[in-house]
Amino acid sequence: MESFSEIKKIQKNLTDKKYSCTELTQQYLDAIAQKNGSLNAYTCVTAETALAAAKKTDEKIAAGGMLAPIEGVPMTLKANISTKGIDTDCCSKILQGYRPVYDAAVWELLQKQGAVLLGKCNMDEFAMGSSCETSCYGGAKNPHDLSKVAGGSSGGAASAVAGELAAYGIGSDTGGSIRQPASFCGIVGLKPTYGAVSRYGLIAYASSFDQIGPLTTSVEDAALLFDILSQKDARDSTSVGAQHLAVPALQQSLKGRKIGIAAEYFTGLREEVQAALDKAGKVCEKLGAQLVPMSIPEIQYALPVYYILACAEASSNLSRYDGIRYGMKAEHYTGVNDMIERTRSAGFGSEVKHRILLGTYVLSAGYYDAYYKKAQLLRRKIRRAFVAAFEQCDVLLAPTVPMTAFPLGFTGKDAVETYQTDICTVPVNIAGLPAVSVPCGTDASGMPVGMQLIGNTGREDLVLNAAYQYEMATRAES
């Protein structure tokens, strides 16, 4: 069976000595120099770090050593993942110039594997946004059409991978921030089960929702990276690691598997998105899966629940940016309170301010019971609804986003509709479930459509196998 793994292809070429790792890395760095001006995918390029790692790989190959599963493969990290001595500014003015004194757990694991870091990627400021346009550097653009957004908040990583400026990227997903840009850019994006991948060193937006995951060109690469990154970490109290390995499960047939189709996910879709998903469902049936119509009415509460709880957590998490300990500090002030006010007013962008204000409001004494407490109760209800759904099926099939990538500047015109692009992705984060977005077609203008496959807690193996079987069937046809 043909492999669509970019990681395996690169490693085979390295070991066959078609090119050296240094030559490959330089090719990627040259491509970034040529194309990043238009794509705006990278905010920081780490050429020295990349070439030093490439040299080590070349030395290992020359000595006849076996490469680790992702060794020597050039990649990128989202700008909210801590890298010692390398800019990690969350694309916010308030953190510009901040260089952490420690590495995130995921970057530690990748370095042990010999990963080649090309740079840090653009994102919505503090991961708050659905288009990448809230970045203080301006948004990353979609490689399929430079007049369209790459999606958010991991838009830079998705743009880099789709634009062939990195073999894979590592992003974070709070309400769809890996899957939505993966859908818009026509690549694979995996949001693992909450706790499967350590959040140590991930700069927090909403701690009970955030999860780190890969953006890749194939399902096989996503599975490979998941197995590497899903290690239990004592430094993250919510970390449990993987319950099942993904790569060994990729060759399983879909015969007899039940794929749930929840009606609530299919309301308000653009016609072309609906058509692509209908076609994808038929492919799954041809592969032997049974489509099971069902209803999960609790999904209708997901968007308000997400925005209330995530913003409440953000208002707490972002209180540390006060100009005293690190990051930007106002130059002129009359006292401590004035300095904090001026620093935060100048340092945070408008979307971050909106979410901090909303979060502070719902946590305030007069509104806590009416909003925050009620949202927590509904969160529990949504979790229970998913538990019941997975008693009827193995995985759920849903759209990733109700539409394809929208034009640049659309966010400023219709904030409510922009928030609604998260409607199909946020339920997964509320319930802490694994989900993958895989390309399943295009609209009339050639923009990609993403299909989302959702699994029960810890069942990345089932989700990725279903995505892999679909990918194999459809890529073989094309």
Active site residue ranges: 78, 153, 177
Rounded Cα distance between 166 and 157, Å, is: 8
Rounded Cα distance between 162 and 207, Å, is: 28
Q: How far is CA 444 from the centre of its chain?
A: 26
Strand partners, 169: 76, 215
Q: Which two tokens stand for residue 255?
A: 């015969």
Q: Choose among 262, 268, 296, 306: nearest CA to 426.
A: 306
| CA trace torsion 148, 149, 151, 154 (10° rounding) | 130
Q: For residue 113, give the H/E element and its range.
A: none
Rounded Cα distance between 52 and 361, Å, is: 48
Strand partners, 75: 117, 168
Rounded Cα distance between 299 and 302, Å, is: 5
What's 68's DSSP letter? P
Could you check whether the bond before residue 153 is cis, i.e. omega within 30 degrees of 0?
Answer: yes
Q: Choose among 449, 375, 428, 469: nearest CA to 191.
A: 428
Rounded Cα distance between 347 and 126, Å, is: 12
Rounded Cα distance between 132 and 181, Å, is: 9
The radius of gyration of the chain's CA atoms, rounded to the nearest angstrom, is 21
Sequence-separated (6 or more) residues with CB below 8 Å from residue 327: 94, 95, 96, 97, 98, 321, 347
Output the CA–CA distances (angstroms, integers) from residue 3 to 169, 393, 476, in the order listed. Answer: 19, 28, 10
Single-letter code of the amino acid located at 377: L
Q: Are 306 and 422 in contact (CB under 8 A)?
A: yes
Strand partners, 83: 86
Q: Choose among 297, 127, 285: nearest CA to 212.
A: 127
Q: Choose among 150, 154, 84: nearest CA to 117.
A: 84
Cβ atoms < 10 Å from Cβ of 139:
26
Count the helices and strands in the chain (H runs, E runs): 16, 13
Look up tokens 């085979």; give the residue.
12
